[in-house]
Structure formats: C-alpha cells, structure tokens
Amino acid sequence: MTPHDRHSRLQDRIEAALKRKAQRSALSVAVKRGRDSRRAALDAIPGGEAFREEVRAIKLRCLEKQQELIERFAARAKERGTHVFMAKDGAAAIGYILTLAAERKAKTVAKSKSLTSEEIEVNESLEAAGLQVVETDLGELIIQKTGEKPFHLVFPAVHKTAAEVAEIFKRVTGENVPHDIDAIMKAVRRYLRPIFLNADIGMTGANIGIAETGTIAIETNEGNARLVSSIPDVHVCIIGQEKIVETIDDAFQMMFAHPVSAVGQHLTTYVTMMSGRSPMGEGDSARESHIVILDNGRSQMRASELYSDALNCIRCGACMNICPTYGVVGGHTFGHIYPGPIGIPWTAEIHGLEKAADFAPLCVSCGLCMEICPAKIDIPLMIAGVKDRASRRQPHPLINRVLMAAESMAKLGSATAPLANRSLQNALFRRGLEKFVGIDRRRQLPPFSPQTLTAQFHRRGPAKIAGPKRKVAFFTDVYANYNAPELGMAAIERLEALGCEVIIPPQRACGYPYIAYGDLKRAHKTAQKNVAHLAPYVEKGYEIVTTEPTAAYCLKVSYPRLLGQSRRSLAVVEHTHEYFPFAAQLENDITASEQSLLAGRTYGFHIPCHQRALGAGRHTVDFLQKRGAKVQVVETGTCCGMAGTFGLKKGFLGYELAHAVGEPLFEEFKASGVEAIVTESSVCSIHLRQGTGMPVHHPLELLQPAE
C-alpha cells in the first residue's frame, strides 16, 4: 500500500466515523463518564494518583523477573493439578485448545471476555473446526453477533444504542425484545442460561497470574466469568505472560488499579481467584483446569529498549477514555484488535508494523494517555517509534515534513514577513497552500514578525540588574520568537522587574513536531543540541524559563527520555520552569493598582495538554485572581483538538477531526458566561478563537507593563 492509499483510506474511515453522530455521542458520553468516575474515585481515597507509582514499581519489578515468575507460576499451578501449556504464538495456543476439544469430544465453548483470546483470533479457529463458541459477556456477545471487533477495550459495544441491541437479540433469540435495557437483559439471560449449564468447555482470560501460588484472578462486573470457569468440566484460561506478578500483595494492588482506572470502581463486582479445580462430587475426576501462557511476541517486546514498556499495560482502557481522537472515531477506526493509544505499539509488535501504521497517525501526541496510565507507560514515545519505523518503509507525507520543519518555515516567514503575511491573507495563495502542501485554507494562521524576539533582545541588550535575585536563560521556542516577540519581550521585562538577570542563549526550537510525527533521529538531534546549549548555563546558575507549555514539556519530559536520562539532560529538567510558576517564586506583595488591574473581568482558563503534566496552570490562575479577575477553569478532561500543528492539516486527518474533538469544549466555553478565554498555548489559542468566536488571550497580554 502506498502512503497516499493509506492516507486516503484513513481519511475515508474518519469521515465515515464523524458521520455516525449517534455512535459518536454514545462513545463521548461513555469515555467522559469513565474519566470523570476515575477522578471522583481517586479524590475519595488517601494519596489519590500516588497509587500509580506503586503500580509501575510492581510491573517493572515483575517484568525484570518475568521468566523466573513464569516458571514459578507454572510450577505452583501444576502442583494444584492444573495443566500448563507454554504457547510460543497464537497458532500453538489454538492447536493446544483444538487438541483438548477433540480429546473431550467437545461441541460447545462458552467464553468470557478476553482480549488475549481476541489477539490470537481463537473464536474463528474453533468455529472453523466445527465448535460452537458463545461469548457470554454482554458487550462481547453483541460484537460477536454483529461480526465486528471490540470498539473499546473495556466497553466492547459502547457504540451500540439500546434500540440496535434489542434488534440484535430479537434476531438471535426469535423473541420480541423491547427497546429498553431491562427487557434486553432478561432476554440475554434466558439465551445464555442453557449455554452456561451445558457448555463442554469454559474459556476465560485472566487479569492476573500470581507466581507465589499459581493462582489466576479474573475480574468482571457481570459474573459470567465465574459461571464459565466453574460449571463446565473443562476450563481453559489464556493469559499473556506479562500479566504474571510475583505475590498476592502485588495482585491486590492490580485488583485496585484495574477498575479504578477503567470505570472509577474501587473493586470490580466479581473477583474470582482460582488455584486449580475441585471435584463437583465424590468420584468426579472429569474436571480439568488448563492454563495457556501466551508469548506471541512478548519476549521480543521485552528485549526492546523502547517497546518493553508496553508490557506494563494492565488493560484498563484509561488511555482510550482520555484520547481525544479515539473519543471521536472509536476503536473500529482507531485500532486493529487492540484499540486506542496503547493499541498502536501492541499492534506493531504483535500483529505487524503495517497494521499499526494504518491508524498510528490518529495519535496527535497530546501526551494525555501517559498522564492517566496507571502504570505511567510512555505511550506517546512508543507511538512516535512506530511512526518512525513506518516512515522508513514509506516516507512521511509532505505535510508532515513541512510541519516538522516548523522552525525553518517560521524563519522564512519572519525574513519575508510583509510578503508572507499578505500571502497568508490571500485566498488564492491559501488554496494553493492547501492543495500542494496540505495546510487547510480555513485555518487562521498567526502573522510573522519582521523582527524576531532574539534580534530585538540582542539589539536592546540585557538589562543591568544590580544584585539579581535569579539568573534566567529565556527559551523562546517558535511562537514567541517569530510570531509574537512582543509576548516574549513582555515576559522578559516582567522577569527583569522582578529582579532577574535575563539572557537569551543560543538554542533551537524545542522540536516537538519531530516526536509528534515520528522522526526520532531528528528529535534526538534537536534534544542533544538544546541540552548542549542550555546545560552550560545551568551549570553557571541560570534557570531556564519559557512561556510555551509544549516547550517546557519537551525540555522536562521528552528530552531525558530521548537522551537516555543523561546527566546533562536531567540537569536541564531540574532547572526548567514554566513562566508563571517561576514568577510566583519571586513575587512578594503586589501594588493596590495591580491588585485591581483585572477587577470585574471574567475569564475561562484552558489547560493545554502538555501543561497538565507540569502543574495544570494553577499558578497562572492564581496570578490572574490576585489581580482581581474571576477565573473559571473550563475543560472536558481531554484535548481541545488542535494538538500542536495537527489542526493545521487539511481534511479529515487534520482540521475536520480537530474541530470534531474540540466541539464539546467550544460549547463549554460558550455556555460558561465568561467574557474571554485565557490560555498559555499559542496553538490552542488559534483553535479556541476559531471554534468559539470568543477573544482568546495569553495571560501576559492582559497586563500592563511592569513598573
């Protein structure tokens, strides 16, 4: 498949998904409920988000000892009478199950929800061999009866309405099923009851395997897994080897992390722990327990410096609940078998790079998946790695190459500012830019300044500060340097008024587009250069300050990962600051006139995605409130849709999708009653201004120059 074919096919799939408004609405409600419930659950417990540190520590420790734990788990399970089979791949696992079914003359297999079995497409193979396979989880049963793949990891049929589900079970059962939930559930129970009672084989996955005892733990909210695993004479569990933890205490921590991250429950309704099987009565020797421990590429992932982190996934689905583009298009567009953000690296490693590359461009690199992940997996960097590998087979499309060269484009725009700015306002030029480059003609673009911030500052020279409180190396990035030098100068002058000696050291733009679009070689090179430029100033006592949240994120979060946690990169991390948290350290009492500067003004504050990892704009809100403003944080819990330069691109894999993501937030702002929007992100401001029709300001634009 050519890059054009892949791009066109993905555009078509996005367009089709955006047209299914009822499906979009149902998905939006479900994922928002998931993240809101998670937030409420964590707010109600001591420590809140701190549990993520323990989950990650457990997963890393168990991953380090994986082979040992697999062997210990298998030995303990065998001691309890369980048959254990190590499956190198899906074919081996399916072969083992088919042999077992033949030996037991099985005809019917009752299954509970298991993404690991979906991974190896076990249903299709068993059905091809003449077995009847019935999914007993309601969502999975709906998916099975419609011949679809799961739409969401936790909510497989979230895209179906009650009316659609009623029609499905009317066809399946032959009953007249009314279009309401209670009637549907009664019809499903009547349909499943004889299957539970008469199945020859019950098949489940497992959320956890415990090496200490050879126990599997299965967590459900419907109880079907308990019936499937206990009633049939033969129980088969398929478990990925990465799910095996060391101790019962480890398992208990996972039992909390799974439901609280997925749906905001502190514990699932049913937790079934099985260590072998007991006979149903005296003389009953027919009952068997079989555990298939699946590798299927996991050992290869573990050996990868970049992708081994994916094995820490606990399958909670939280990354899908917060992913802005997944929340609009869903798992049939954003996924293969494993959907959503974590589905990209998993698909690449388990099902092949080509399949992952089909939907990897839907990741807009907002970073929110890592911020919500209970195991703190660096999903964005792994996705960047998938995009990078895919680009070696098929080059990046032109628009991505142009946007990755944003700094060079900005230099050119600034150098030719009068002509460039007139061109950007010319309809004919914008049509050509859309057709031949791929920047959507509808997107409003900021003008370029003929004088960069760096040039203006160097012409002015550093201010003479007697006995400076702090020394600051100002990091400009693209917007403050080439588009809005007045913003950068306002920041510098305010720092100087607070007693800081400020310089602008040599630097490149932060280079985040290289990560977003997947050119890790250039991302690494940019990180090296900027750290080489900035670290000597840190060593001389300078603090690095920037007004752009993505630049701060890049320096503090992305660079150390790109550079292998090098000493100098960590020094830069330690001494890099967002503008307002840094300024807050220096402010003492403010004058009465400044305290009333914004009195009577009402603002809605937007938290850019990358700012969420750095403090969520708390100091900025406080800064404005101290000056008399009423500030309301307005958000939906996910991205505004612009996602850096993503929203500049034409069509459905750009402007249209960005707007669809942003619509709920636009409506929130318009309904909030505030007079204007405040955000520190240069690109978010473009999208919010266009999507809401409201004024959008950087906080520094609201202030008079410091005296």
pLDDT tens track for 65-123: 999 999 999 999 999 999 999 999 999 999 999 999 999 999 999 999 999 999 999 99
Domain boundary pick from 586, 621, 647: 586
- What is the reported pLDDT for 283? 52
Q: 192 and 50 in one domain?
A: yes
User: Using 50, 70 and 90 to split pLDDT, how confident is the model at 706?
Assistant: very low
Considering the domain boundaries, does residue 35 fall inside one? no
Q: What is the mean pLDDT of residues 504-533?
A: 96
Q: What is the mean pLDDT of residues 562-591?
A: 92
pLDDT at 670 over 70: yes
User: Using 50, 70 and 90 to split pLDDT, how confident is the model at 465?
Assistant: confident
The crossing angle, in degrees rounded to 10, of helices 567-574 and 520-539 is 70
Q: Supply the CATH number for residue 682's domain.
A: 3.40.50
Only one residue has tokens 């421990």, namely 293
Average pLDDT, the chain: 93
Q: 647 and 569 in one domain?
A: no
- What is the reported pLDDT for 280? 56
Report pLDDT digits (tens) over 311-363.
999 999 999 999 999 999 999 999 999 999 999 999 999 999 999 999 999 99
Among 633, 703, 705, CA closest to 669: 633
Q: 680 and 573 in one domain?
A: no
Beta-ladder partners of 522: none
Q: 552 and 598 in one domain?
A: no
Q: 282 and 313 in one domain?
A: no
- How long is the chain? 707
- What is the reported pLDDT for 704? 59
pTM of the predicted structure, to 2 decimals: 0.93
CA dihedral 293, 298, 299, 305 (to 10 degrees): -150
Q: Supply the CATH number for residue 543's domain.
A: 1.20.1050.140
Considering the domain boundaries, does residue 390 fall inside one? yes
Q: Specify the higher pLDDT residue, 167 or 4.
A: 167
Count of structural domains within the chain: 4
- What is the reported pLDDT for 282? 54
Q: Supply the CATH number for residue 58's domain.
A: 3.40.50.10420
- What is the reported pLDDT for 42? 92
Kindly report the three-state secondary structure assignment for every residue of 234-303.
EEEEEEEHHHEECCHHHHHHHHHHHHHHHCCCCCCCEEEEECCCCCCCCCCCCCEEEEEEECCCHHHHHC
pLDDT at 705 over 80: no
pLDDT at 200 over 90: yes
Report pLDDT digits (tens) over 674-686.
999 999 999 999 9
pLDDT at 533 over 90: yes
Considering the domain boundaries, does residue 408 fall inside one? no
Among 654, 658, 14, CA closest to 334: 14
Q: 268 and 340 in one domain?
A: no
pLDDT at 707 over 50: no
Only one residue has tokens 């059905």, namely 127
pLDDT at 490 over 90: yes
Which whole-number Å values give the CA distances from 120 to 87, 200, 461, in the listed order?
A: 11, 21, 65
Q: Supply the CATH number for residue 317's domain.
A: 1.10.1060.10
Q: 54 and 183 in one domain?
A: yes
Domain boundary pick from 521, 554, 586: 586
Report pLDDT digits (tens) over 120-139.
999 999 999 999 999 999 99
Q: What is the mean pLDDT of residues 661-669?
A: 96
SS3 577: strand
> Exposed, middle or buried by CB within 10 Å (0-12, 13-18, 19+), for 570?
middle
Contacts of 477 (CB under 8 A, 6+ apart): 509, 510, 546, 548, 550, 551
Domain hosting 512: range is 453-586
Considering the domain boundaries, does residue 433 fall inside one? no
- What is the reported pLDDT for 154? 85
Q: 263 and 310 in one domain?
A: no
Q: 354 and 259 in one domain?
A: no
Amino acid found at 610: H
SS3 88: coil
Domain boundary pick from 586, 619, 642: 586
Report pLDDT digits (tens) over 368-399.
999 999 999 999 999 999 999 999 999 999 99
- What is the reported pLDDT for 152? 86
Q: 260 and 112 in one domain?
A: yes
